[in-house]
Structures are given as C-alpha cells and as structure tokens.
Amino acid sequence: MTATPSRSEGSLGRSDASGARRRAGRLSLGFGAATIVAGLALVAAVDSLPLVYQYLPLVATVVVFGLPHGAVDHLVLPRARNDPVTSRSMAAVGVLYLVVGTSYAAVWFLAPALAFALFVLVTLFHWGQGDVYALLAFTRDGTYLESRAARALSLVVRGGLPMLVPLVAFPEQYAFVAGTLIGLFDPAAAAALEPVFEPAVRAAVGLGFGALVVASLVLGYRRSAGDALEPWLIDVAETLGLVAFFALVPPILAIGLYFALWHSVRHVLRTLLVDDPAVAALADGNDLAALGRFARDAAPLTVAALGVLGGLGLLVPRTPATVPDVAALYLVCIAVLTLPHVVVVSLLDLEQRVWSTP
C-alpha cells in the first residue's frame, strides 16, 4: 500500500508525484528532527525557562502553522478525488464545521472537564493518524505497517506520545494547563480530573503505554526486512526521540513546538501532495512556491478561524487576563476546530486508502 494522492499521480505523472513525495518526506524528517533538537537544546541550555517564554512557540505560530494547517479542509477532498471544487463541496465542509464545531463548543460551556478529556482523546487520535500517514507516504515505497493492526497500534503510540508522556513526566504542569482551559468556564470543574494525576494512575499509564511503544517497534521490526528496514529505523528514531522530548521538555513548550513544527508541517505537506501545481513545485525543489500556494489557499479560513477565536473570547464566562489564559482560549478554539477537522482528515484517509492493506 502506498498512501499517495491519486490526483497528483493521475494528472502529473508518477515521476512528479514520486519526486514530490520524496521531497515532502525529507522536509518532514527535517522539521521533525529540528523539533526534537530545539526542545532538548533549550532544556540543556536553560535551567528553568520562565513560564511566559514556554508559551512563545504556541502563541507565535497561531497564524503561521497553528490555525492555517487545517484551513484548506474545503479543498483537500475534491483535489484528492480529482473533482472540481464547487460551492456545494465548500458548503458541505462549512456545514460540518458549523454543526460539529458548535456542538462541541457547547460541551465546553456545559461540562468543561468532559470537554477537556475529549480534547485529549481527539488530539491523540488525530496526531496519531497524521503520523501513520507520514510513515506510509513519506517512507520508501509505502511498504511499512502492512497490517491494519500495526497501523492502529502506531496511531495510539504516536498520538499517545504528546498526550500521555507529559502526564507521567510533568503532572503538575499538565494539571495546570487543564485547569487554565477548564477555568475559563468553571474553575471548580477541574477537580473532576484530580484522580488522573494520582501517582498510581500515572504509573499505570506509564507502564501500559511503555508496553505499547515496545510492542509497536517490535512488530514493525518483525515485518521489516532488507530495504524495508529503513522506514522501521525512521520509526524507531522518531519514536524514541519523541519519548525523550516529551519526558524532558516542559509540556507547554513541548506541545507548542510539536504542534507547529511536527504535526502542522506534516499536515501542510500532505495537503500540498493533492494540489497539482504544488506537487510540480515540490518535485522541482521549489518549496517556497508550493508553500505560497498553501498560504494563499489557507488565508480566508485562517481569518475565519481568528473570528472564532475572538468570538470565544467574548463568550467565555471568565475573560482571559494572563498569558496562560489567552493560550488556554487559543487551545479551546483549536479544540473546537479540531473535531470537524478530524472528520475531514478521516475521509481523506479513506480516499487515500491509508487503512487499506494488500
């Protein structure tokens, strides 16, 4: 199975599609390595980074990678299907965002602790599915993770690294972040999550998740041989690098770096691979032209997402007054937009046969 966009291969030829995919793979690996190195280097260089500075990567990338990375959802499915983008197709995505996003926003107002827990689970799934696609599409011939079970396990592991390792390694900061998000709606509701941060619970999470990490890498190795060993080595390097990253880098800083430079970049690259001119640009090594097209396509809905952020700021019961509060509001906005975004990406997974096996 090769998770590659059908439109690119169909209209531009396999050589352009393969060249673009290889270029996207190199960019993916480069930004991934930069994410890990930057976080670990900061921790090594600075004994205790003030909290306000830990928020900088998250805040500084709001309109660079954060909001824009999902702002072409109205374009990706038609492009992947080799269909024209029509007012009907765009309206369908708009209705999806309106219904699903508004419904989830209501949960934040009515049951914020439940909404936060759902945010963690949805993010785990979504970040995991993004990395499953990357392992299939950005590695040689897409021959890695040949079974659905291996892909599902990899999804849980890759999504669990940013969501579960910080819970084990930095429970106080994890609880602080949860409290800031929930506190925008009902500060007392955060008490419902206190059992999650108990040492026994965190130990169980650490042991159980550690076993899944080992099982994922062992399963990947057993199904790799010869040239197919290369994607397994990439998987091992990325997985163990992320374990160290999330175990050592404070979670606020770690998530800010990871969201912008790892997850968002990989999703942007995926969207470029279903856009014919961007594929041609990537195949020619003209990364700026490809990213310029993405920026143009993403601009209108990035502005709309900023409107959602502003609207939430007016509606939340407690007006954000500090940097953590503003960052919490942004994360709630991301949560509201992520759920319908996951629906679109899941449909894209089906279109690109990410879960189909030989």
Cite the annotated binding site for Fe cation by residue number.
Answer: 69, 126, 263, 267
Q: Mind spelling out the 3-state secondary structure of the chain? A: CCCCCHHHHHHHCHHHHHHHHHHHHHHHHHHHHHHHHHHHHHHHHCCCCCHHHHCHHHHHCHHHHHCHHHCCHHHHHHHHCCCCCCHHHHHHHHHHHHHHHHHHHHHHHHCHHHHHHHHHHHHHHHHHHHHHHHHHHCCHHHCCCCCHHHHHHHHHHHHHHHHHHHHHHCHHHHHHHHHHHHHCCCHHHHHHHHHHHCHHHHHHHHHHHHHHHHHHHHHHHHCCCHHHHHHHHHHHHHHHHHHHHHHHCCHHHHHHHHHHHHHHHHHHHHHHCCCHHHHHHHHCCCHHHHHHHHHHHHHHHHHHHHHHHHHHHHHCCCCCCCHHHHHHHHHHHHHHHHHHHHHHHHHHHHHCCCCCCC
* Distances 219 to 127, 128, 135, 207 between C-alpha atoms, Å: 21, 17, 14, 18
User: At 333, which amino acid appears?
Assistant: C
Binding residues: 69, 126, 263, 267
* Distances 232 to 17, 51, 202 between C-alpha atoms, Å: 23, 36, 29
Spatial CA neighbour of 55 closest among 337, 306, 309, 326: 326
Distance of alpha carbon 123 from alpha carbon 155, whole angstroms? 11
